[in-house]
Homo-oligomer: A and B are copies of this chain.
Amino acid sequence: MDKKIAVITGDGIGPEVTRQAIHVLNAVAAQFHHHFHYEYGLMGADAIDKTGNPLPDSTIELCLNSDAILFGAIGHPKYDNDPNAKVRPEQGLLKLRKSLQLFANIRPVTTYAALQHLTPVKAKILEGVDFIIYRELTGGIYFGNKTLSADGNMASDDCAYTKNEIERIAHLAFQAARQRKKKLTLVDKANVLETSRLWRKLVREMQSQYPDVSVDFLFVDNAAMQLILNPAQFDVVLTENMFGDILSDEASVLTGSLGLLPSASIGNGGALFEPIHGSYPAAAGKDIANPLGSILSAAMMLDHFGLKEEATKVRLAVQWTLDNGFVTKDIDPMNFYFTSTIGELVADLV
């Protein structure tokens, strides 16, 4: 198989973790006789520093002409605390999601026995936890009209959703549920929001097309509790953009380390794979970041290419490193290996 992969290493620890994912992809390519071609593009604070633009047109072009995108991380504190900043790194990622219509962000929540001592929750809470979050990614309050009054005393963000935006991701979520435990949970705030009532109505109407999937509805405040009280109840969780941002990060605590969680963003115009951790600037360049989130994102990319066996190999290699104590500093601060060592080890194991 021949694939062209756009690589956007981005900010902070992005470059060093992505490098390890590429090591692993190369090992897969060598062993299974695939050809992966990488081309590099700029985005985020890195792109602002070099071009003044968080997402240069050439990067969009590159992504549109690739089979998939491997992305590192975005963000730098110097922009977060400057309310007057005209350009922000995150605008690059948001614009990329929109330009490529990456409307579904998919985050599996998996637990690892070897990391149980790191999670804040009790062992019994984690029994049977295995769910996946489908977060809408190109609509809602992220992309609605924003205003700031001339005197700076009033601001607004509009949250809007159309039938089409809701149904296309809901179909993906229903289909995923079919392949899994056949349960879909829509998280909304239908007792307060008009957009939530539209989500609830449309998802309810779609139920008849998926009679084998059982559907339930949870208010977002309740969902934020249930994710910690009883996460084993979930199979596929479907929700809008802002709620998904909050709940998927919250769910990451179940795993024991944010550094391990991959995500895929898919849609009409492409597919982007990235670890859910941020740019973690304090660790940048120190070779201490956890590359497994990026490596497992590459595994999701292999799945997306239809390379199931290859993806499984990568996941088994990751599992082996964890089970045998080959871990980065976030997992064991006393006894740890470097980012690059873990990356090479996973590549070798593959």
A contact set with B: CB distance below 8 Å: 75, 79-81, 83, 88, 90, 94, 120-122, 125, 141-142, 144, 146-148, 152-164, 189-195, 197-198, 200-201, 204, 217, 219-222, 224-225, 227-230, 242-243, 245-250, 252-253, 258
- Contact check, B246 vs A224: say whether CB atoms are below 8 A apart: yes
| Chain B CB within 10 Å, residue with most, of A75, A80, A83, A148 | A83
Task: Supply 19 further A-B pairs (C-beta < 8 A) apart from A221-B246, A228-B228.
Answer: A81-B204, A83-B201, A90-B192, A120-B228, A120-B230, A141-B192, A154-B162, A155-B160, A155-B197, A156-B159, A156-B194, A157-B194, A158-B158, A189-B245, A220-B246, A224-B246, A224-B249, A225-B250, A225-B253
Q: How many angstroms from the CA of A200 to the CA of B80 in the assembled complex?
A: 10
Q: Kindly report which residue of chain B lies nearest to residue A149, judged by CB atoms.
A: B162
> Could you say how many copies of this chain the assembly holds?
2
Residues from chain B with Cβ under 8 Å of A157 in the complex: 158-160, 193-195
Q: How many angstroms from the CA of A100 to the CA of B107 in the assembled complex?
A: 42
- Contact check, B253 vs A198: say whether CB atoms are below 8 A apart: no
Q: Kindly report which residue of chain B lies nearest to residue A154, judged by CB atoms.
A: B162
Residues from chain B with Cβ under 8 Å of A246 in the complex: 220-221, 224, 243, 246
- Contact check, B228 vs A249: say whether CB atoms are below 8 A apart: no
Residues from chain B with Cβ under 8 Å of A141 in the complex: 141, 159, 192-193
Residues from chain B with Cβ under 8 Å of A221 in the complex: 245-246, 248-250
- Contact check, A88 vs B191: say whether CB atoms are below 8 A apart: yes
> A184 → chain B, closest Cβ, in Å?
15
Pull 8 A–B residue pairs with CB atoms less than 8 Å apart, ordered by A: A79-B191, A152-B201, A156-B194, A220-B246, A221-B248, A224-B246, A224-B247, A228-B253
Q: How many angstroms from the CA of A229 to the CA of B256 in the assembled complex?
A: 9
Residues from chain B with Cβ under 8 Å of A154 in the complex: 160-163, 198
